[in-house]
Structure 1
Amino acid sequence: MTRNHLLAGATGATLAMLAAVPAGAHDNHVTIERAGDRLCITSNGLPNHDTGTFPNRGNPHAISEQTLRYCVAANPVKGGTMTEITRGPVGIALNGILFRPETADYYDPSSPRGFSRDPSSGWNLEGMGAADQLGMDHNNAHVDNRGIYHYHGTPRGLLASLGDTHIGYAADGHEIHYVGEAARSGWTLKSGTRPSGPGGAHDGTYIQDWEYTGAGNLDRCNGGMLDGERYVYFATDTFPFYPRCFWGEVSADFRR
C-alpha cells in the first residue's frame, strides 16, 4: 500500500508520496506538517518497508505501534556552538522512524553478554560496531525495550522507497541526506590497541575506538554543503553514520 508523506500548512495539501511499500512491510502512517516556525513529523513508528524478524537472538524485543511526534525548526540556522546528543534519537526519517545511532550499553566483563548498562568501564558499545550482537536487521535497525524500531546505520529499505537524497531531519531542523561515497566521514579508527577495558585493537566495536581527524569532506558533526548551496548533515556508511552533534538549536523534543 502507499502512505502519504505530507507537508501541511493551513490547507494540509499533499506535496509528495512515498513509493509503494514492499510486500510484508508494516502499516506505516506518517505526516509532515508545518506548525508556525516548526516542522512536525508524526508517525505510528512502523516503517514503510519490510524488516528483519524481531525478537531475534541479539534483540529480545518485538516491534509495536507507537505515537511519535517530533518537531524541529522549519528554518534552521547554523551557528558557531556545537551541541552533542550522546543518548537517544538524533533525528527522524521521512517515514517517521527515528535515527538513534548510539547505544546505552558498555563493556562489562561480568555480564554474560560482555556488555551491560553499567557505564563504569567507559567503553560505550557502538551500534553498528556490534550489529550482530545487537540483532540489527538488513536495514541496520533494531527494536528497543519499548518496541520502538529505529535506525543505527544506513536505512536500506527507506532509501529504496525514496527518489531523492533527502531522508529526514536532524534534531536541529537541518536536513539529513544520503549521497553514498560522495560524502566521506572525517572520523577514523584510532591506531594501536585499547589502553584499558576490553583491550585489543581499535576495531570499531566501541565509540571510543574512533577519533575525528578531518580525513573526509565532512565536519565533526557529519555535516557539509549540499551542492555548494546550503548546510545539511549526511548519513554515511561509516562512523558516525548520522550526526551526533549539531550546529543549530536542538529541539526540546530530542532532549526528552
Structure 2
Amino acid sequence: MNKKLVVLAGGVAAAAIAGYATAAGNWVEISERGNQICIRSNSIPNHATGQFPNRGNPHTIRPQNINVCVTASPTKGSRARGTGPGAIGIALNGVLIRPGTADYWDPTSPRGHSRNRSSGWNLEGMGSAKMLGMDSANAHVDNRGTYHYHGAPIRAVRTQGGTQVGWAADGFEIHYVGSRAKSGYRLKKGTRPSGPGGRYDGRYVEDWVFVGGAGKLDQCNGGTLNGQYVYFATDTFPFYPRCFWGRPSRSFRGL
C-alpha cells in the first residue's frame, strides 16, 4: 500500500498530502511504499538562492527529475562504506545533498583544480566555498543545472521546522542541531608535505583527520538522537556523512 506523507517537526506523519509548490517553483512529494520512503522532486529549493551563474560557478539552475527511495528500516552495520563525490542523500525540500567534490588540486589548470585525481588532493566544497561559487545556503549548481547542498542548509532547516533536514541514501535520517552535535574531525597541524603546500586550512579533504573522542560524532558524522541513530549536518567538516553505516540505495547512483 502506498501512502503520501508529510514532513512535520523533524519526523514523518503518515497519510497526509506532502506535495507542495512555492513561488520559486519548488515541488517535492514524499511517500511511503511498502518499507521504503520515496522522494520525488524537481530539485528546486523552497528558499531564495544566490545568483547563478556567478564568478565561481558558471551554471544556471534548472528543474530536474529526481526520484529516489530509501529504506524505512535502516540497519547499522559493523563497517563503514565510502560515499564518493555524488549525492549522499536528499533534503526534505527535495534538494540533493553532495558534500564531496570531484575536483583535485591541479597546478596545470587555469583554475588551479580539475577532475584529474593524480595529485591526491581533493578539493573540499565548503573549504573552497568562494572559489566554487557557493551561496549563503551552502549550495551551488552543477553542469546539469542541479542545485545541491555542500554544507548545512540553514535556510531549509528554518523553513521546514524541527531538526530533520533529510535522509541519507542508506535510510538513516539527517538532522541539524547546531553546536549540540560536535564533529569528530579536526584540522591537521603544520604544513602539507606535498601537492599545494602551505598550512592545512581546510581547502582539501586531506587537511582533516578523524580523532573522535567523548561527546563527538563518529567517522560518518553520526550519533544518537532521542535514542535513535542518525547522521548529522554540522557547521564544520565533514558537514554531512562522508561514509555510510548502512547499504545505500541504488536510486542515488549518478546523482
- TM superposition score normalised by structure 2: 0.91
CA distance in structure 1 between the partners assigned to 2:69 and 2:28 by the alignment: 13
Q: Is the 8 A contact 1:5 1:94 kept in 2?
A: no
With 130-139 and 245-254 compared, the bigger mean Cα shift is at 245-254
Of 37, 42, 45, which aligns to 1:44?
Answer: 42
CA distance in structure 2 between the partners assigned to 1:149 and 1:140 by the alignment: 10
SS in structure 2 of the partner of residue 103 of structure 1 = coil
2:30 equivalent to 1:28: no
Q: Counterpart of 2:55?
A: 57
- TM superposition score normalised by structure 1: 0.91
Q: Is the 8 A contact 2:164 2:175 kept in 1?
A: yes
CA distance in structure 1 between the partners assigned to 2:18 and 2:40 by the alignment: 16
With 204-213 and 110-119 compared, the bigger mean Cα shift is at 110-119
> How much is the aligned-residue C-alpha RMSD, in angstroms?
1.8
CA distance in structure 2 between the partners assigned to 1:107 and 1:144 by the alignment: 19
Q: Which runs of 4+ in 1 moved over 4 A?
A: 15-18
| C-alpha deviation, 1:94, in angstroms | 0.4
| C-alpha deviation, 1:119, in angstroms | 0.7
2:109 equivalent to 1:106: no
Q: Counterpart of 2:219?
A: 220
What's the % identity of the aligned pairs?
60
| C-alpha deviation, 1:160, in angstroms | 1.6
| C-alpha deviation, 1:78, in angstroms | 1.1
| Deviation string, structure 1 residues 171-201 (Cα, Å, up to 9, x no partner) | 1000000000000000000111101000001
| Deviation string, structure 1 residues 129-159 (Cα, Å, up to 9, x no partner) | 0000000001000000000000000102201
CA distance in structure 1 between the partners assigned to 2:242 and 2:30 by the alignment: 23
CA distance in structure 2 between the partners assigned to 1:5 and 1:246 by the alignment: 25
Of 67, 84, 92, which aligns to 1:69?
Answer: 67
CA distance in structure 2 between the partners assigned to 1:195 and 1:86 by the alignment: 24
Which runs of 5 or more structure 1 residues have no equivalent in the other structure?
none
Of 77, 80, 91, which aligns to 1:79?
Answer: 77
Of 139, 142, 145, which aligns to 2:140?
Answer: 142
Of 10, 15, 35, which aligns to 1:13?
Answer: 15
Which runs of 5 or more structure 2 residues have no equivalent in the other structure?
8-13
CA distance in structure 2 between the partners assigned to 1:112 and 1:125 by the alignment: 15
